[in-house]
């Protein structure tokens, strides 16, 4: 059986390395190759040294490459035209790349845990995923504008349902004409946008930290599942309502490269 191999041979590298003197020298070089070095007892006790820096930290952060940012802070999401709102605790994950000295491109995922102080407030999880072109105005300051999807998943809200009878008798899905009487619990996805300014300090060649101030807007197609299906089609019977929210947040970020 004849074979044809496609093999990556890193084991061959040392042989090639021996065959090919890696550095290309153009100056007089005194190469001294002694017999194998015999370690002494004290060699085993030698303190190890790391390399001296070969690049300024700030310069390294301006190099193109992968970036990850994670952060948390405090936020507010207000309702528009009757839609509920509340304070929240956002958790931010941003994944992206520094493109050049002036620009980065990030994908942001924000998950905000919204609590309620009184019945009727927005309660549950607000989430958003946006694509954020980012302009680095200075070495520390950048601004970004993002657009993408956003949504809400509400839990126990304490809101009453003025349309309870309608809910019990629905035989097909229904869309509310407005959000002035909010649904008991909203779960749905819509569109989201943001504007953000971030100020960062470089901690080292691989990490940085800073703060971000962000303004958010979101339009959510809320869906409330009544727990029944249309018997002829097996499609879930739901009630829908459009919610509009706007707000902002202040977050503390850690960034890695």
The nearer residue to other proteins, 7 or 165, going by C-beta atoms, is 7
Nearby residues of 140 by Cβ (< 8 Å), 6 or more positions away: 199, 200, 201, 210
- 225 - beta bridge partners? 238
First to last CA, the chain: 50
Cβ pair 201, 140 in contact under 8 A: yes
d(CA 92, CA 147): 15
The nearer residue to other proteins, 113 or 213, going by C-beta atoms, is 113
Q: How far is the CB of 6 from other proteins (least distance, A)?
A: 6
The nearer residue to other proteins, 59 or 141, going by C-beta atoms, is 59
Question: What's the token pair of residue 102?
Answer: 């002036």
Q: How far is the CB of 222 from other proteins (least distance, A)?
A: 12
Q: How far is the CB of 224 from other proteins (least distance, A)?
A: 10
The nearer residue to other proteins, 58 or 137, going by C-beta atoms, is 58
Please tell me whether residue 173 adopts helix, strand or coil conformation: coil
Q: How far is the CB of 137 from other proteins (least distance, A)?
A: 25
Q: How far is the CB of 234 from other proteins (least distance, A)?
A: 4
183 CB burial (10 A radius; 0-12, 13-18, 19+): buried
Question: What's the token pair of residue 96?
Answer: 């992206």
The nearer residue to other proteins, 137 or 229, going by C-beta atoms, is 229
Please tell me whether residue 88 adopts helix, strand or coil conformation: strand
Q: How far is the CB of 253 from other proteins (least distance, A)?
A: 14
The nearer residue to other proteins, 12 or 137, going by C-beta atoms, is 12
Phi, psi for 13 (deg, rounded to 5): -60, -45
The nearer residue to other proteins, 49 or 118, going by C-beta atoms, is 49
Which DSSP letter does residue 169 get? H
Nearby residues of 184 by Cβ (< 8 Å), 6 or more positions away: 157, 159, 160, 161, 224
Q: How far is the CB of 104 from other proteins (least distance, A)?
A: 15
DSSP line for 104-126: EEEEEEEEEEE--SSTTS--EEE
């Amino acid at each position: 059986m004849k074979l044809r191999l496609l093999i990556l041979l890193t084991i061959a590298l040392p042989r090639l390395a021996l065959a090919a003197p890696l550095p290309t020298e153009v100056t007089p070089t005194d190469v001294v190759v002694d017999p194998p070095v015999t370690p002494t007892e004290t060699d085993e006790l030698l303190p190890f040294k790391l390399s001296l820096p070969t690049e300024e930290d700030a310069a390294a952060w301006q190099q193109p490459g992968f970036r990850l940012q994670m952060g948390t802070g405090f936020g507010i999401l207000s309702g528009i035209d009757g839609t509920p709102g509340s304070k929240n605790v956002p958790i931010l994950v941003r994944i992206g790349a520094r493109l050049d000295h002036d620009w980065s491109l990030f994908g942001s995922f924000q998950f905000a845990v919204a609590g309620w102080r009184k019945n009727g407030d927005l309660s549950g999880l607000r989430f958003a995923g946006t694509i954020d072109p980012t302009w680095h105005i200075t070495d520390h300051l950048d601004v970004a504008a993002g657009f993408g999807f956003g949504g809400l998943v509400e839990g126990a809200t304490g809101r009453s349902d003025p349309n309870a009878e309608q809910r019990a008798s629905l035989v097909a899905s229904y869309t509310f004409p407005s959000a002035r009487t909010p649904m008991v619990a909203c779960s749905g996805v819509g569109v989201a946008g943001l504007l953000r300014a971030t100020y960062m300090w470089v901690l080292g060649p691989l990490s940085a930290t800073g703060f971000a101030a962000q303004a958010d807007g979101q339009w959510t197609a809320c869906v409330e599942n009544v727990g029944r299906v249309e018997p002829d089609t097996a499609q879930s019977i739901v009630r829908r309502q459009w919610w509009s929210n706007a707000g902002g947040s202040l977050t503390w970020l850690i960034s890695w490269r």
